[in-house]
Amino acid sequence: MRHTGTLTPQFFVTAPQPCPYLAGRQERKLFTALHGQTATALNDSLSRKGFRRSQNVLYRPSCSGCSACLSARLPVAETTPCRSQARVLRRNADLRCTVRAAWATEEQFTLFRAYLDARHADGGMAEMDELEYAAMVEETPVRTRMIEYRLPGPGEGRLVAACLTDVLADGLSMVYSFFDPALPARSLGTFMILDHLRLAREAGLPYVYLGYWVPGSPKMSYKARFRPFEIFQRGRWIRVEDPASVDTAADGGDDTPILQQVAEITAAALRG
């Protein structure tokens, strides 16, 4: 007899390894696989609990003695561009946005490599080859799109920015974005977030999920320039007006036993 009821997700934990954001710290991740008919519902549910997707895996930090990685999202109806962000929108008004299926191309990979070499040459993705890039884009069991931004020109125009984006029940999740590092004046990373607010608004979705924000990490500081934004902390989403007011030390680190974490997360996932 085949069981067709709700499947309970199984969780695993990685071994500690050097943190890519804060020097001298160790990171550890709690993760579960996404597969089958439950993948979309599980992605929706756990994204609301601070998890992120990477290919067919959902994960969140579970670091002993540290709670600095905070899942961040923007409330679409309330987030408005400041003056500098409005200038970014004007500078990029000539770009054409195209929403495509999650399919990797050589043009994307060339841009991706240029971005990594210029911005993250010492990061964990620095050695990714074309096959690994294709896996990142195409190995998705949920509703995923590749959103491309092009300059006007012959044919489709030159690709200058792209974002791998999941479509959730309550928002757009920016899984990974990259852009032409030779165009710093355009502030393309900021522009893609602003444009995702537009796309979510047009689709009637209330949130844009930005991934993790790490107070004190220069690599993550741009996410805190949007107002207002929300962080997932102490089991709930909290509105942030002033990033300097966020106290990650208040959590004292995630030293909750793994089995207790899993029990709480599983119960939340099954409730949806």
pLDDT attached to residue 120: 76
What per-residue confidence (pLDDT) applies to 68? 87
What pLDDT, in 10s, does the model give residues 53-90? 999 999 998 888 888 899 999 999 999 999 999 999 99
Residues of the chain with pLDDT under 50: 1-6, 252
Of the CA atoms within 13 Å of residue 19, those in its CB half-sphere come to 20
Q: What is the pLDDT of residue 252?
A: 47
What are 99's two structure tokens?
């929403």
Domains belonging to the chain, first-starting first, are: 73-213+223-230 (3.40.630.30)
Which pLDDT value is given to residue 36? 87
pLDDT, residue 3, reads 36
Residue 256 identity = T
pLDDT for res 72: 96
Q: Could you say which DSSP state residue 128 is in?
A: -
pLDDT of residue 119: 84
C-alpha to C-alpha distances, 66 to 15, 138, 232, nearest whole angstrom: 15, 33, 15
